[in-house]
Structure 1
């Protein structure tokens, strides 16, 4: 039991470190291709050598950082090719997840999607009125919650896991659009209203087309 408790505590520390580094990559505080040195990261985020290495391995599995040939780590690149490749994966995975959710989801799933869309609308309003780091993070979390809600009735945990992986890889592109004032919130609200209507009507063709448009806009393409 003693060792089990220590292992649980270590897992918690690793998860917290990974979350903090993931956030700072998403907000471009840690830049694309930046080398991630263990000692410097420990000074900034805390943790032991072991916990920091485990956090970086976790982020490497998510595609947020890369292991180098010298057994170190760096932030993954963020080129135009990276953007288009992540967009491709998000479109394939999230459209498949939504299609399966529309086939399998019950009324309770519809209600969760409507609630997520409402929360997204509130977050859109808040980040426009007060575009600081706190509201930006809340807005990004609302984006993620909507993605989860759309897919959660797909009956495939692995598909959901893949969606989360590529969603996290897309965050820095979306937050850069927000930071640069390049998001058309009026068009976004219109898309989400159409998406809500298509889902409630169980119009799969329309819902997938709108989701395609929304993900592309979400990543600036």
Structure 2
């Protein structure tokens, strides 16, 4: 059990439960279509019945969990059609977010993006040298941080939340490719160099094209 029950509707407990279950779905600990029973989840993660139901409600809204006809829950499926749909939404939302961020002409945003690229480069090196779960978790977070940084100056909270929702849905596909050794890190680094330079040069067309290429490559789609 990870988290105790403090009683009531503690938002901190719900946030921690959501993070833990979201992580385990992304890492394949909880498998696609696996049934999620409240009591079994409580024994594993902690929390009260109410906090676990609220957690599953949040994860359902994020598309990580599905409610079944019997009023139960299960992990969302992970079919080829699911991946194609997630890819479509990631490309549409992240291209729009980056386009708007580029228009912001913010030096602070540039600095944030450069820092995120640097952090991801270090994480890429680390996960190749020491491919264990702890390093993979850091790598996953660095990948998510770059995606978030690229959109952070778009000026739309709802756009950022939508993009983050579909990014989270894509994480288990990316992490599966990492576990299977199917990521071409040299090509990934080259794309990121092009994307970083295009952003700093305010070459919108090249930046948006390269971002789409990187999303497709990250999920092994064409």
| TM bracket, shorter-chain basis | over 0.9
Provide the rounded CA distance (Å) in 1 between the counterparts of 2:72 and 2:57: 10
Equivalent residues of 1:36, 1:72 under 8 A apart: yes
Report the equivalent of 1:12.
12
> What does residue range 61-210 of structure 1 map to in structure 2 within 5 Å?
61-210=61-210
Q: Is the 8 A contact 1:105 1:154 kept in 2?
A: no
Q: Which runs of 5+ in 1 are unaligned?
A: none
Q: Which runs of 5+ in 2 are unaligned?
A: 1-5
Shift of 1:105: 3.5
Report the RMSD for the aligned CA atoms in angstroms. 1.2
**CA distance, structure 2, for counterparts of residue 209 and residue 14 of structure 1:** 38
Classify the secondary structure of the residue corresponding to 1:183.
coil
Could you tell me which residue of structure 1 aligns to residue 57 of structure 2?
Answer: 57
Q: Distance in 2 between matches of 1:116 and 1:188?
A: 15
- TM normalised by structure 1 equals 0.96
Deviation at 1:55, TM superposition (A): 0.3
- Residue of structure 1 equivalent to 2:3: none
Moved over 2 A (4+): none
**Structure 1 or 2: more helix by fraction:** 1
Match status 1:42 vs 2:42:
yes
Q: How many angstroms does 1:192 deviate by?
A: 0.4
TM-score by length of 2: 0.95
**Deviation digits for residues 126-162 of structure 1, max 9, x if unmatched?**
0000010111010010011101110000000000000
Secondary structure, counterpart of 1:70 in structure 2: coil
Report the count of equivalent residues.
216
